[in-house]
Amino acid sequence: MPQNSKATLEGRTGNPEPSKPKTLSRRGVLGAGAALGAAAGLAPGPAAAWRQSRGGFSAANGHPVFGERPLQRSLSAAELRFQAAKSYIGRFLGRQQTNGDEGLYTDYRASFTKALPHDAHGLVDRRAYRQLLRALKSGRSGAFERIPVAGDRRLVNPQAAYRFELTGRDCGATFMRPAPTYAGAETAAEMGEVYWKALCRDVPFADFETSPLIGAAIDDLNRFSETIGPKENGAVTVRTVFRGSTPGDLEGPYISQLLFKDIPFGNATIVQRYDTPAPGDDFMTTFGDWLDVQRGLDPAPLFKSNPRYISDARALGEYVHVDFSYQAYLSAALILLNMPDAFDSANPYNTSASQEGFITFGLSDVLDLVAKAGNLAFTGAWYHKWLVHRRLRPEAYGGRLQKQIADGLDMGLPDEIAQSDAVARTFSKNGTYLLPMAFPEGSPTHPAYPAGHATVAGACCTVLKAFFEEDRPIDSPVVPDATGTSLLPYFGTLTIGGEINKLANNIALGRDWAGVHYRSDGVDGMLVGEQQALGLLADYSRTYNERFDGFSLTTFDGRKLRIRNGRIR
C-alpha cells in the first residue's frame, strides 16, 4: 500500500477511527432531525409533526409501542443512516492508481478487449477500444450502446461500475494496488502457474505428494525470478503449491470441508457431488479457435457427467464455472447453522435463558448478510475491472505468447515465461503455446482484475467469520478418494475459521485452474471484498437492540478485529 494512504474505517493505517454516535434522546433526535425532515420536504416541521402525531392514539385504545412517538422512531432511523453514511466521508484506503499499461501500448495489447473486433493477430480494433473508453469516461448509457462487438457475446454489465450502495463501503472507496504489469516478472510467474495448473487439472489432490508432474511444476515455479503464492523457506513446496496463504489454508486437504459436507436444504439434503467434464477436455488450443473466442463467437457447449466429490482441479474448475454468485457461502452458512455450538462466542443468545436469535443473530440474519455481502462485493469488483484496471485475461496473454514464439512478433513478453517448462510441455502436447482452457468459451467478457468470484469470496467469508466461532473444530472432517466417488475420514484437526478461509481461496483461485484468472486477481480481489464486508458489518452493528460485545473475526492477513457500534478496531 502506498505510503500516502489515508486513514480508513478499517484502521489499516492506524489513524483515529470515527467517534461513537451519541445516544439519541427525544430532544436530540428532534433537533438533529429538523434538517433531515426539511431536506426530505416534511411539513410541518418536526416539532409540530411530533405534536400532531400524538392526536390519533390513546393508551385506552391499546396503542402500539411506537404509537405516541412514530416520528421519533422515524427520525432515529434516519439519524442512524446519516451517521453510518457520514462515517465513510473522506475515509479512503489509499490513492487508487493503474499500472500504466493502457497508455504504454498504443495497440492496447495489455488491456482487456474480448468481444470487440480483432485483427488476424488477435489485436483489438483501436477505434472500437477507444469507443469503449469514451463510454466509460462519460458514463452515459447511450455511449455504451455504440460500442461495437464482433460476435455473439456482449460485454458483461460495465455500467454496474457506477452503481451506488446504501450500506457498507462504496465501490469507489475501495482500494487495490495496481495490477501487475503485462511485461513484468510477477505476471510472468503468474502465467507460469496458470500454465502448470492447466497441465495438472487431472492430477487428484490426493496424489500431489507423489505426482512427478506436480514435482516438475514446483521445480519450474521456483526458477521464476519472482515466485508467487505461499512458500516455505522462500520456496514453493509440495505443501504450498497452488494453495492460498490465508490463516488455515495450508492445513489439511486442499479442498475446504464446506465443499464436502452435506448441505441441509429445508426439507432436503444436498450431497456435494457435481457433474464434471472428462479428463483432458481442454479448449482453445488452436489459434483459429482462440481468435474466434476473442472475437466473441459462441463455441459448442461443454459436455459433462460423472457426478463426484471435488477430488481434482477439473472438478473444482467446473464448480466455479456454473455456480451462482454466493452459492458456496449460502451452502457454507447452512452447514454451519446446523453445527452445534458453532455461533461466535459473542452471540448474545448463546447464554440467554429465555430467548433465541432468528432475525437478529440467528439463521435469518446470517443468510441475509451473506447474500447482501455477495452483491455488494460485485460492485467493488466491477468498479475496479472497468473504471480502473482493465487488465487482459490469461488466455489473451497466451495468444500474445503464441505470436511472439511461433511467429516471431515482438509482443514484449519476458524470456522467462517463454522458456518455462510449462510452456514447452504445453507446446509438446498441443502444438501451440496457447493456454489450454477448461471452459470452451474461455473467460467471461469482463476484465480480469479483480476476480468477481474472489471479491464475493472475500466479502461472504468475512461475514461467515463474524457470525461463527473461528476456533471451533470441524466435526468429523473428511477427504475424498482419488476418484471422488467416496469420502474418507481425515485424521487431523481443522477449524471453522481455517476452513472458511480455505473456502474463499478454493473459489477465488479455482478460477485460475480453468485458465480465466491470474493469482493476483484472486488474492487482491478477496481483500476488496473484505473491505466492503467490514463496512457492511460496521453499519449493521449499529442496528441491534441486544447488549452485544461486537462481531469478532480474523482478517485474511491474520489481524484480529472487533466491530461494534459502527467502529472497527
* Number of CB atoms found within 10 A of residue 281's CB: 17
Task: Give the integer Cα–Cα distance in Å for 229 and 227.
Answer: 7
| Cβ-based neighbours of 372, under 8 Å, separated by 6 or more | 167, 168, 536
| Cβ-based neighbours of 192, under 8 Å, separated by 6 or more | 220, 221, 224, 416, 417, 420, 422, 423
Strand partners, 480: 487
* Number of CB atoms found within 10 A of residue 41's CB: 6
Task: Give the integer Cα–Cα distance in Å for 294 and 127.
Answer: 17
Grid coordinates given for 499 = 476452513
Q: Looking up cell 483515529, which residue turns up?
A: 16
Task: Give the integer Cα–Cα distance in Å for 502 and 523.
Answer: 12
Grid coordinates given for 437 = 482452457
Task: Give the integer Cα–Cα distance in Å for 360 and 199.
Answer: 47
250 and 240 in contact (C-beta within 8 Å)?
yes
Task: Give the integer Cα–Cα distance in Å for 309 and 34.
Answer: 59
Strand partners, 478: 489
Task: Give the integer Cα–Cα distance in Å for 10 and 21.
Answer: 17
Task: Give the integer Cα–Cα distance in Å for 86 and 411.
Answer: 48
**268-273 contacts: CB < 8 A, separation 24 or more?**
270/331, 272/309, 272/310, 272/331, 273/307, 273/308, 273/309, 273/484
Grid coordinates given for 227 = 515466485
Q: Looking up cell 457427467, which residue turns up?
A: 305
Beta strand ranges found along 441-534 (DSSP E): 478-480, 487-489
Which residues participate in catalysis according to the annotation? 446, 453
